[in-house]
Structure 1
Amino acid sequence: MRIGRVIGHCVLDRKLPSLAAGRLLLVDVFDNHALHNHESHMPRKLPMPQSLVVYDELGAGIGSIIAISEGAEATMPFYPERVPVDAYASAILDQIELHIN
């Protein structure tokens, strides 16, 4: 599971009926630098090499911090249906608390 900030969304003209309840978000996944400075909206130290598109049924908006499940785990909310989803917004995070030793 990774953590990231929603930076936009995708608009589709058609999608599978099983995906009707959600939408696709563009997410900037946090690296260590962005995670430790998330409250001041600091960006990643290096830009992401690729955009991450995340399926969302929770209603996350631009600027929301979300937890992201990827791979086979991202398809579990749709089981037993097979859907073309690689990343799923599994939670909208209200607060991140880091304890560094």
Structure 2
Amino acid sequence: MRIAEVIGRVTLSRVHPSLSGARFPIVVPMPLVALRDGAPDRGEELVAYDKLGVGRGDLIGLSEGGEAANPFGKTLTPVDAYCACLIDSISF
């Protein structure tokens, strides 16, 4: 799991039935130097699956790969990344 910042949102006109009811935020992974020191370094933008209701500027826990493809038990969902949690605060 990585920490990422929400920077925007994707709006779909049609969606796969297994994805209905979700949002698709655009997020950028945050390296330690960006979290700790506010450095402008960021990862590459990606679109995540979200059912938590994240908004622009929120920090999230981002799961990718195999964990993202099957976080819902036996229901397979065609996603590469999803918002696992909202982060209230970080302390070092």
Please give the TM-score of this superposition, normalised by the length of structure 1. Answer: 0.81
Deviations 1:5-32 (A, max 9, x none): 1000101111111111211111111012
Which one-letter code corresponds to 1:62 in the other structure? R
User: Over the residues paired in the alignment, what is the CA RMSD in angstroms?
Assistant: 1.5
Structure 2 residue aligned with 1:44: 40
Residue in structure 2 matched with residue 90 of structure 1 by the alignment: 84
Larger-gyration structure (1/2): 1
TM-score, with normalisation over the residues of structure 2? 0.88
In structure 2, C-alpha distance between the alignment counterparts of 1:20 and 1:11, rounded to whole Å = 12
Write the deviation string for residues 62-89 of structure 1: whole angstroms up to 9, x where unpaired: 0000001111101233332322200010
1:11/1:24 contact within 8 Å kept: yes
- Sequence identity, in percent? 41
Runs (5+) with no aligned partner, structure 2 = none
Shift, 1:43, TM fit? 4.8
Q: Which residue of 1 aligns with 2:32?
A: 32
Structure (1 or 2) with the greater helix fraction: 1
The 2-side partners of 1:15 and 1:84 are apart by 11
Residue pairs, 1:1-101, within 5 angstroms: 1-37=1-37, 42-45=38-41, 47-48=42-43, 50-98=44-92
